[in-house]
Structure 1
Amino acid sequence: MSRFERYLTIWVALAMGAGMAIGILFPPLVQAIAAAEVASINLVVAVLIWAMVYPMMVGVDFGAVAGVARQPKGLLVTLVVNWLIKPFTMALLAVLFFDYIFAPLISPEDAAQYTAGLILLGAAPCTAMVFVWSQLTRGDATYTLVQVSVNDLIMVIAFAPIVAFLLGITDIAVPWDTLVLATVLYVLLPLIAGLLTRRALGSGAAVEAFTSRIKPLSMIGLIATVGILFGLQGETILSRPLVIALIAVPILIQSYGIFALAYGAAFVLKVPHRIAAPCAMIGTSNFFELAVAVAISLFGLNSGAALATVVGVLVEVPVMLSLVAFANRTRGRFAES
């Protein structure tokens, strides 16, 4: 993990502060960015999201999927947690907190927006930072690649229907055309571009060198997007500072709960630690780039849904580092075969 990645929470926090300052001091600039839309897709944010997602997709080798036969139980845990449990528990927690526990503190309109943002986070399993978490837990890099690759293949098909279903049961209007367009734009097309790039580069060494060179684009895109989002949300946040803490509560409960479930299942199934740790990390971490992009596409740059996804970014890094430390301390309790 580079120094920049290690302190990602700090950079995100600084981007939040800078964005709010710009939004308050130079509102015409932020509004001009917000107005740059075509078919509900913000062009500025679309470029930034591609800067985030493309380097990750170049690193995904779908040819490695065949390697799953070595340890199918690890992949099974990942897929069950990511697609049959995690989206639904996140939706449940969001409804529980924003429709009931926090209901006296926020308006129903804001509650619906925050719920939508958390649903988007819960339905988007990690595709990039998990490689960092895997490395820090001495995970099996090849198997981690298999898990991420299979997740990406499923995401292309399952993300939009799951999000539409969960948003529907929470009584939020779902613009299907925008949701499908966002999924194609931010998942399918980057995957295709990454595959074509890998083929053009040829060797694994060339791919690794290329991804190392373009990797900073991911972080730059993320920081810039956060700055824009908080530029639009600045006045709301300053007038209601409690909102960040409220959004963080269900995210924290979901993160630690999902990790405990996946890590515990891997332990019971006697999955080796080098697979069990990344397996749990994939389920816990989120593809927040996709969640942010779709929230903006569906609800707008200055929406509560977009704000909720950005809070997910702020919370995720310290949470994941704490789970990395826990996984490393408990390594000796797992099988090593």
Structure 2
Amino acid sequence: MTGPDTGVVGKLSTLDRFLPVWIAAAMVAGLLAGRWIPGLNTVLSAVQVDGISLPIALGLLVMMYPVLAKVRYDRLGTVTGDRRLLWPSLVLNWLIGPALMFALAWLLLPDLPEYRTGLIIVGLARCIAMVIIWNDLACGDREAAAVLVALNSVFQVIAFGFLGWFYLAVLPGWLGLPQAGLAVSGWQIAKSVLIFLGIPLLAGYLTRRLGERAKGRAWYETRFLPRIGPAALYGLLFTIVVLFALQGEQITARPLDVVRIAVPLLVYFGLMWAGSYAFGRAVGLSYERTTTLAFTAAGNNFELAIAVAIATFGATSGQALAGVVGPLIEVPVLVALVYVSLALRRRFTPARVEVTP
């Protein structure tokens, strides 16, 4: 997706321009299929990859590969040296994000401990998959997104278990609140990272390396990338259909619970995105890197959160339902924020904009 500072939405392809419509249709189709087609849930869950349904896993890999094939890996050094981007990203993702979700979960769901625990788990799982799509749709910095996602992955392996223990057992104990436990191994998290980031990242890197070596960068970027680009959105829509089909009956059977869970999620995504965007603008980051900072801070790794909730509390638990409602709210909200970001692009002066091809 590309576009000038003004009138950007009008310049988009039909697929991009009506993306909210396609996503809404995919969500509805998945919910109805899961509700009305007998045995569909069992079929989709029959084969799993690290606790995630194989169709969802395949959809995520297809979704991420084209975007990671677009990354210019020879430019990553320009990102790793930008401390205005790296340190704020770490603080936002691993200090502010989990703390904010903990506070919202306790403030808004004090009487629903299972959902509260599920939301805290969602807050601990920082995004390594869909954020790449949102960033690309909003014309963010692809190289910066690749670096920040990789950085989050490393911290996810190291910090997820510790933060789960801290926010579910230690901090509630200090505050005199009920405590909960979280049984998750570092290897389980590492497997999730290796599968859902490592595979498409390696594939994207090798595709660019071999494609440029064989045909040159001009051919690769003007001929090859446009051909595989739409696959990312097709993978996204397929993933949404399958995800909501798997949980359609549970979601439609408990609409009031879904609404209760949705409220703190809406507040969380809005505050994380707006706060990160404002910070990036305040410290003088370009539009591209401000956008990347905002989306990497606001997004969450729903596949990891759901897998951990199911493994620890069971597939029919309230914690698992909270994890499932995460993408139900995150997808439409972050799609809307893509368009908000594109509308704000004109507020950045040309001198501060780094054009992303």
Q: Same fold (TM over 0.5)?
A: yes
Deviation track 1:167-220 (CA, whole Å, cap 9, x = no partner) reads: 332333323322110100111222111111111101223332323222222222
Which residue is equivalent to 1:65? Answer: 76
Distance 2:352 2:65 in 1: 36
Paired letter, 2:157: A
Distance 1:282 1:225 in 2: 22
Deviation track 1:79-133 (CA, whole Å, cap 9, x = no partner) reads: 22321123432222322222332233xx322222233224324677933432332
Which residue is equivalent to 2:173? Answer: none
Distance 1:6 1:165, change over 3 A: farther
State whether structure 2 residue 103 is matched by structure 1 residue 96: yes
Structure 1 window deviating more from structure 2 (249-258 vs 34-43): it is: 249-258
SS of structure 2 residue aligned to 1:134: coil
Structure 1 unaligned spans of 5+:
136-143
Aligned with 2:39 (options 9, 23, 28):
28
Aligned with 1:228 (options 235, 242, 261):
242
Structure 1 window deviating more from structure 2 (231-240 vs 20-29): it is: 231-240
Distance 1:318 1:167, change over 3 A: same
Structure 2 unaligned spans of 5+:
1-11, 169-181
Distance 1:276 1:23 in 2: 43
Contact 1:186 1:290 in 2 (8 A): no
Deviation track 1:303-335 (CA, whole Å, cap 9, x = no partner) reads: 32133134211210112312332342x335986
Contact 1:65 1:150 in 2 (8 A): yes
Contact 1:117 1:307 in 2 (8 A): no
Aligned with 2:324 (options 306, 312, 333):
306
Contact 1:58 1:207 in 2 (8 A): no
Aligned with 2:335 (options 301, 309, 317):
317
Structure 1 window deviating more from structure 2 (187-196 vs 147-156): it is: 147-156
Distance 2:206 2:225 in 1: 14
Aligned with 1:185 (options 156, 179, 195):
195
Distance 1:199 1:85, change over 3 A: same
Contact 1:68 1:146 in 2 (8 A): yes
User: What is the Cα deviation at residue 2 of structure 1?
Assistant: 2.7
SS of structure 1 residue aligned to 2:110: coil
Q: How many residues matched?
A: 318
Which residue is equivalent to 1:206? Answer: 219
TM-score of the aligned structures, taking structure 2 as reference length: 0.76
Contact 1:292 1:310 in 2 (8 A): no
SS of structure 1 residue aligned to 2:286: helix
Paired letter, 1:204: R
User: What is the Cα deviation at residue 156 of structure 1?
Assistant: 4.0
Which residue is equivalent to 1:166? Answer: 163
Structure 1 window deviating more from structure 2 (20-29 vs 168-177): it is: 168-177
User: What is the Cα deviation at residue 336 of structure 1?
Assistant: 7.5
Distance 1:55 1:118, change over 3 A: same
SS of structure 1 residue aligned to 2:229: helix
Distance 1:319 1:50 in 2: 23
User: What is the Cα deviation at residue 295 of structure 1?
Assistant: 3.3
Paired letter, 2:36: L
Aligned with 1:134 (options 129, 135, 139):
139
TM-score of the aligned structures, taking structure 1 as reference length: 0.80
Which residue is equivalent to 2:232? Answer: 218
Distance 1:253 1:195 in 2: 36
Structure 1 window deviating more from structure 2 (115-124 vs 199-208): it is: 115-124
SS of structure 1 residue aligned to 2:76: helix
- RMSD (CA atoms): 3.2
Contact 2:66 2:229 in 1 (8 A): yes
